[in-house]
C-alpha cells in the first residue's frame, strides 16, 4: 500500500521518489498524510502570496570607482510572474557613514530588465557607499523587490596636502566617556598647515547629526571631541582650493567574541547523535578561525575547530543532565571564558543529513527517543513537493533516501512534523548543486597590446539538443577594480545570498571542488538554520494575503498665488523631442502617466507654466522621500576591521589604475571653459559631441576636442533639433528629472581616431542585453586602453532555464 501511495505522490509532486525501509502502515496513516499534505499545500499557497519570491539583481561593471567615472549597470527581475507591472527602476547612492542620499536617478524598465549608467562627479567624497535599487512596485508600503550593491569610491588625483584623521586613545577602550579624534594636516613638504578649514559631522544611531567647523592650529592639528552617543566622524578638510574627505568609525567597546551553536534540525536530544554547527565572529562581525575543547560537566573531551570562514561542525551525543561548554585554546585573554551549548531535550527526534550539498539524491537518517509516525515534507517555502509518513522507533535510526527528480536547483527544505503539522526538526539542503547552465567566454588570444582590438565569442550550450536563447550583460574592466570583499554575481545571489543573507567572504560560493562544497556544507548548517519559519507558515491566514499593492506615481499640483485652483488648467510638457498638453483637475491636482515622464538621459523635462500670473507647479517625487527613509534604515555590511585612522593616501587609487587622471575636471554647477583656453566645447544645454561623433558621449564628457552639436546634424541616428537656450533661467519653465532611457556605451575605436593623449579607461567594454544562443557564437569586439595589466571579462544574465555567470581574463601590455 505504501508503494502505491508513493507512486501516486510521484505523479502529483514532480516525480519525487521517497524510498523508505519501513513496514506497511495502515490506511489511516496514508489518509492522514494526504490530509496533512493538502493542508500544507494550502498554507504554502497563502505563504507565497504573503512572501512573494520575486527578486531583483543588478550587475554593476565594477565595485571600485573614482570621481568623473561612469557607473554602468543592468537590472534583472527574477522569479517574477508580473514583470510588466515593474516599469521604473530607482537607483540611488547611499553614504555608508551618515546614510545620506548622495545621488538618485530613475530608469525605464521593460519586460523585467532595466539598464543605464550614472556619472559620478568628483564632488562625491571618497569612502564606502551602497547602491540601493528597487522598482515602482510597493507591497504594504515597502518595495516588492530590493537590491543593494556595496562599492568604494576613491580619487585618481594626488592630494595637494596630506591629511590624517585618527583616534588618539587607541591603547585603551573605556566605556562611558567621550573620545578624542585628531585631525593632522601637512603640506607635501611635510610642514604643518595652519588655518586649514575643517567641517566635521558626528554621527550616531539616531537621526541627529552634530556638525561643527574649526581651523587647524600652528601645528596643523585640531582635536574633535566625540560624545559617547556618536559612532562615526566624517570630516571635510579645505586648504585653498583643494578639499579632502576622511572618516573613521569609533571602535566598539565590546571586544568579546560571539560564539553561536546550531544543532542540526533545531535541537539536541538526550542520547541521540547530533551534528552541531558552530560559528565565531569578533565584535565587528568578522569571522574568526579558532580551536576549542568540548567540556562535559567541566571534563575536557574532543577538540574542535572553525575554519578561516569562522564556521565548523562536530558530532555530539548528549548525556542527560550534562552541561556542555566550549573553551577556546588560541585566545589566552579568554582562557577563563566558556561558551555553553544549548541544553538537550529529554525526548525528541534528531535528523542527520551528513551531506546537504547534493545532486539528484538526498540521504537522511532519523533517530528518535520514542516509537511512532512522523511526516516528512519536502518544500522550499514557495512550492510543496511531497509529504510522506515515516515510522521511527527507538531501536535503530531510520534511513530515508529521497530522489530529487525535478525539484528545481537551489535551496530546499526537509521538515519533520506530527500529524497536526507541528515541527520536530527542519533542515535546509542544496539540490542539483553540480547542474550548470554551460556557456563559454573566449577571447581570440590571452595577451594584447595597448589600443589593440579584442574579439570575444560567447556561446550557450544545451544538453538536450534543443536550441535556446539567453540575454546577458558583458563587462571588461581592470581586474583590481573588482574587489573580492564587495563582489556579487547573479548565480550566487539567486541560489544563496537572497535567502541566507550575507555570507563569509569567498571567491567562488558555488565551486565544484571539495573545499568549496565543505564551505557550503557549513553554510547550510549554520546560515540555513530556520527554526521559526515553519511556525510562521502554519499561522498564515487568508487575511494575511490581503496586501496593499501599489505603484509609486509622480503627482503635481498647480496653484495660483499659493491657493488651490477653482477650475482645470492646461500647461505644456516639453521632452527631448516631443511636447504635450497636460490638464489638472478642478483643484489643480494631476497624476503623471509613467510614459509621459520618459526622456533622454541627462535631459530634464520642462513644464511651461505662466508664472507671471502667479501660477506655480509643485511636483511630488515619491522616490526621493522613500530613498531617504530606506537609506537611513540601510545597514551597510562591515567588510573589514575598522581602522582607528585614515589618511589622504588611503583614498587614492594607486598606479596606472588611475583611470582618467589626466582628463579629470572638477564638476560644478557651471563649467569653466577657461580650462581649455576659453574654447566652447558644449552649448548652453551642456550638449556636446565627442571625437567619435557621439552625441553626449558618456565616456568622453570633458575631452579637450569635444564640440557643440550642430542643429540639423545627425548623431547616433537622430537629428539634433537644438535645445532653445537655458530653460532654467526662465521662471515660466520648471525643470524636472524624469525617467531616463539608457545611453549606449561607446568605447574607443582607435582605427577611426587615435589620439596622442593617454586614455586610462578602466571599463573598456560594457554592453546590455547581448543575445547568446546555442546555435552559433555571439561575437563582440572592443579595444584595450592605455592601462596595462590584468582585465576581467564578466558575463552574466538570464536563460530559459535560469541564470548564467562566467568570467574570463586577458592581459594588456605595452607594445
- The residue written with cell numbers 571542488 in the block is 513
Contact (CB, 8 A) for 70 and 699: yes
- DSSP string computed for 117-156: EEEE-TTSPSEEEEEEEEESEEETTEESSEEEEEEEEEBS
Is residue 471's pLDDT more than 60?
yes
Mean pLDDT of 498-525: 91
Q: What is the pLDDT of residues 35-46, one digit of tens each?
A: 888 888 888 888
CA distance 44 to 326: 39
Which residue, among 742, 784, 741, 738, has the nearest Cα to 765 in the 3D structure?
A: 784
pLDDT of residue 187: 92
Is residue 536's pLDDT more than 90?
no
pLDDT of residue 568: 92
Copy the grid coordinates of residue 180.
578624542
Q: How many CB atoms lie within 10 A of CB 682?
A: 18
Tell me the Ramachandran region of residue 675: left when phi exceeds 0, alpha when psi lies from -120 to 50, beta otherwise. alpha
Highest mean predicted confidence (pLDDT) among 14-23, 128-137, 744-753: 128-137
Contacts of 115 (CB under 8 A, 6+ apart): 73, 74, 75, 107, 473, 742, 768, 769
Q: What is the pLDDT of residues 91-119, one digit of tens each?
A: 999 999 888 999 999 999 999 999 999 99
- The residue written with cell numbers 569562522 in the block is 310
CA distance 178 to 380: 49
Q: 26 falls in which pLDDT band (50, 70, 90)?
A: very low
Contacts of 73 (CB under 8 A, 6+ apart): 58, 59, 60, 61, 91, 115, 116, 117, 118, 131, 133
Is residue 674's pLDDT more than 50?
no
* Pairing relationship of beta strands 615-620 and 579-583 according to DSSP bridges: unpaired
Tell me the domain boundaries of the chain: 161-239
Mean pLDDT of 637-652: 75
Q: What is the pLDDT of residues 701-711, one digit of tens each?
A: 666 677 777 76
Contact (CB, 8 A) for 758 and 786: yes
- Is 178 or 732 the better-scoring residue by pLDDT? 178
Whole-model pTM above 0.75? yes
Q: 669 falls in which pLDDT band (50, 70, 90)?
A: very low
CA distance 277 to 522: 7
Q: 176 falls in which pLDDT band (50, 70, 90)?
A: low
Mean pLDDT of 170-181: 69
- DSSP string computed for 735-760: EE--EEEPPPP----TTT---SS---
CA distance 682 to 696: 9
pLDDT of residue 668: 36
Q: 640 falls in which pLDDT band (50, 70, 90)?
A: low
Query: What percentage of the chain exceeds 70 in pLDDT?
Result: 86
Helices (H) then strands (E): counts for the chain: 7, 54
Q: What is the pLDDT of residues 314-372, one digit of tens each?
A: 999 999 999 999 999 987 777 678 999 999 999 999 999 989 999 999 999 999 999 99
Phi/psi of residue 205, nearest 5 degrees:
-90, -5
pLDDT of residue 29: 75
pLDDT of residue 122: 85
DSSP three-state, residue 486: helix
Contact (CB, 8 A) for 708 and 686: no
Mean pLDDT of 460-484: 88
Q: What is the pLDDT of residues 555-604, one digit of tens each?
A: 999 998 889 999 999 989 998 778 899 999 999 999 999 999 999 887 88
Superfamily of domain 161-239: Macroglobulin (MG2) domain (2.60.40.1930)
Q: Which of 660-669, 734-743, 765-774, 804-813 has the lowest mean pLDDT?
A: 660-669
Q: Which of 19-28, 376-385, 520-529, 657-666 has the lowest mean pLDDT?
A: 657-666
Contact (CB, 8 A) for 742 and 601: yes
CA distance 416 to 365: 12
Q: 670 falls in which pLDDT band (50, 70, 90)?
A: very low
Is residue 638's pLDDT more than 80?
no
Contact (CB, 8 A) for 777 and 787: no
- Report the mean per-residue pLDDT for the chain: 85
- Which stretch of DSSP H or E encloses residue 5? helix 2-12
Is residue 288's pLDDT more than 50?
yes
Amino acid at each position: 500500500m505504501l508503494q502505491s501511495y508513493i507512486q501516486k505522490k510521484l505523479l502529483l509532486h514532480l516525480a519525487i521518489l521517497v524510498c523508505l525501509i519501513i513496514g506497511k502502515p495502515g490506511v489511516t496513516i496514508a489518509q492522514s498524510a494526504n490530509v496533512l499534505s493538502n493542508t500544507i499545500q494550502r498554507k504554502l499557497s497563502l505563504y507565497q502570496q504573503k512572501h512573494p519570491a520575486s527578486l531583483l539583481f543588478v550587475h554593476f561593471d565594477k565595485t571600485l570607482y573614482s570621481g568623473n567615472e561612469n557607473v554602468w549597470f543592468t537590472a534583472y527581475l527574477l522569479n517574477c510572474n508580473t514583470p510588466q507591472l515593474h516599469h521604473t527602476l530607482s537607483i540611488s547612492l547611499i553614504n555608508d557613514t551618515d546614510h545620506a542620499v548622495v545621488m538618485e536617478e530613475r530608469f525605464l524598465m521593460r519586460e523585467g530588465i532595466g539598464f543605464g549608467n550614472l556619472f559620478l562627479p568628483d564632488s562625491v567624497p571618497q569612502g564606502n557607499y551602497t547602491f540601493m535599487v528597487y522598482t515602482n512596485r510597493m507591497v504594504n508600503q515597502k518595495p516588492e523587490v530590493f537590491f543593494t550593491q556595496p562599492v568604494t569610491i576613491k580619487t585618481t588625483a594626488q592630494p595637494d596636502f596630506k591629511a590624517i584623521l585618527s583616534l588618539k586613545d587607541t591603547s585603551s577602550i573605556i566605556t562611558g566617556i567621550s573620545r578624542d579624534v585628531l585631525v593632522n594636516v601637512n603640506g607635501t613638504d611635510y610642514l604643518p598647515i595652519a588655518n586649514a578649514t575643517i567641517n566635521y559631522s558626528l554621527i550616531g544611531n539616531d537621526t541627529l547629526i552634530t556638525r561643527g567647523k574649526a581651523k587647524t592650529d600652528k601645528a596643523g592639528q585640531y582635536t574633535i571631541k566625540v560624545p559617547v552617543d556618536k559612532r562615526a566622524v566624517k570630516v571635510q578638510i579645505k586648504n585653498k582650493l583643494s578639499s579632502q574627505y576622511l572618516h573613521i568609525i569609533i571602535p566598539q567597546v565590546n571586544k568579546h567574541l560571539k560564539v553561536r551553536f546550531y544543532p542540526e534540525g533545531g535541537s539536541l536530544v538526550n542520547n541521540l547523535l547530533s551534528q552541531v554547527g558552530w560559528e565565531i565572529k569578533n565584535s565587528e562581525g568578522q569571522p574568526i578561525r579558532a580551536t576549542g575543547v568540548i567540556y562535559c560537566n567541566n571534563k575536557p573531551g574532543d577538540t574542535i575547530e572553525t575554519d578561516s570562514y569562522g564556521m565548523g561542525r562536530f558530532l555530539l551525543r548528549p548525556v542527560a543532565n550534562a552541561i556542555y561548554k566550549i573553551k577556546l585554546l588560541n585566545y589566552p585573554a579568554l582562557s577563563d571564558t566558556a561558551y555553553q551549548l544549548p541544553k538537550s531535550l529529554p525526548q525528541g527526534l534528531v535528523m542527520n543529513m551528513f551531506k546537504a550539498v547534493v545532486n539528484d539524491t538526498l540521504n537522511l537518517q532519523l533517530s528518535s527517543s520514542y516509537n511512532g509516525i512522523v511526516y516528512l515534507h519536502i518544500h522550499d517555502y514557495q512550492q510543496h513537493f511531497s509529504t510522506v509518513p515515516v515510522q521511527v522507533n527507538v531501536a535503530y535510526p531510520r534511513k530515508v533516501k529521497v530522489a530529487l527528480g525535478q525539484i528545481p536547483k537551489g535551496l530546499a527544505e526537509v521538515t519533520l512534523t506530527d500529524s497536526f503539522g507541528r515541527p520536530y526538526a527542519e533542515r535546509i539542503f542544496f539540490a542539483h548543486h553540480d547542474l550548470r547552465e554551460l556557456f563559454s567566454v573566449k577571447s581570440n588570444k590571452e595577451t594584447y597590446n595597448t589600443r589593440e582590438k579584442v574579439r570575444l565569442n560567447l556561446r550557450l550550450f544545451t544538453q538536450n539538443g534543443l536550441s535556446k536563447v539567453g540575454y546577458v550583460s558583458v563587462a571588461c574592466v581592470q581586474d583590481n577594480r573588482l574587489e573580492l570583499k564587495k563582489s556579487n554575481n547573479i548565480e550566487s545571489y539567486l541560489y544563496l545570498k537572497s535567502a541566507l543573507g550575507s555570507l563569509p567572504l569567498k571567491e567562488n560560493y558555488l565551486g565544484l571542488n571539495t573545499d568549496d562544497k565543505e564551505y557550503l556544507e557549513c553554510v547550510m548548517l549554520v546560515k540555513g538554520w530556520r527554526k521559526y519559519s515553519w511556525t510562521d507558515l502554519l499561522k498564515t491566514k487568508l487575511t494575511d494575503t490581503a496586501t496593499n499593492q501599489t505603484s509609486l506615481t509622480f503627482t503635481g499640483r498647480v496653484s495660483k498665488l499659493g491657493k488651490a485652483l477653482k477650475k482645470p488648467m492646461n500647461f505644456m510638457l516639453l521632452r527631448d523631442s516631443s511636447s504635450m498638453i497636460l490638464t489638472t483637475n478642478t483643484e489643480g491636482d494631476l497624476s503623471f502617466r509613467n510614459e509621459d515622464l520618459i526622456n533622454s538621459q541627462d535631459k530634464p523635462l520642462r513644464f511651461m507654466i505662466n508664472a507671471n500670473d502667479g501660477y506655480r507647479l509643485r511636483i511630488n517625487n515619491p522616490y526621493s522621500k522613500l530613498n531617504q527613509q530606506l537609506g537611513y534604515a540601510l545597514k551597510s555590511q562591515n567588510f573589514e576591521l575598522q581602522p582607528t585612522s585614515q589618511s589622504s593616501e588611503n583614498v587614492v587609487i594607486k598606479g596606472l589604475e588611475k583611470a582618467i587622471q589626466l582628463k579629470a575636471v572638477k564638476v560644478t554647477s557651471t563649467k569653466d571653459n577657461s580650462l581649455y583656453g576659453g574654447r566652447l566645447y558644449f552649448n548652453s544645454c551642456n550638449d556636446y559631441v565627442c571625437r567619435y561623433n557621439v552625441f553626449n558621449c558618456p565616456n568622453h564628457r570633458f575631452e579637450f576636442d569635444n564640440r557643440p552639436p550642430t542643429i540639423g546634424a545627425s548623431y547616433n541616428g537622430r537629428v539634433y533639433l537644438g535645445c532653445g537656450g537655458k530653460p532654467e533661467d526662465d521662471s515660466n519653465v520648471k525643470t524636472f528629472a524624469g525617467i531616463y532611457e539608457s545611453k549606449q556605451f561607446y568605447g574607443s575605436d582607435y582605427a577611426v581616431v587615435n589620439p596622442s593623449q593617454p586614455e586610462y579607461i578602466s571599463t573598456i567594454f560594457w554592453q546590455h542585453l547581448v543575445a547568446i544562443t546555442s546555435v552559433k557564437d555571439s561575437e563582440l569586439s572592443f579595444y584595450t586602453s592605455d592601462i596595462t595589466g590584468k582585465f576581467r571579462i564578466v558575463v552574466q544574465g538570464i536563460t530559459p532555464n535560469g541564470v548564467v555567470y562566467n568570467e574570463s581574463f586577458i592581459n594588456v601590455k605595452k607594445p
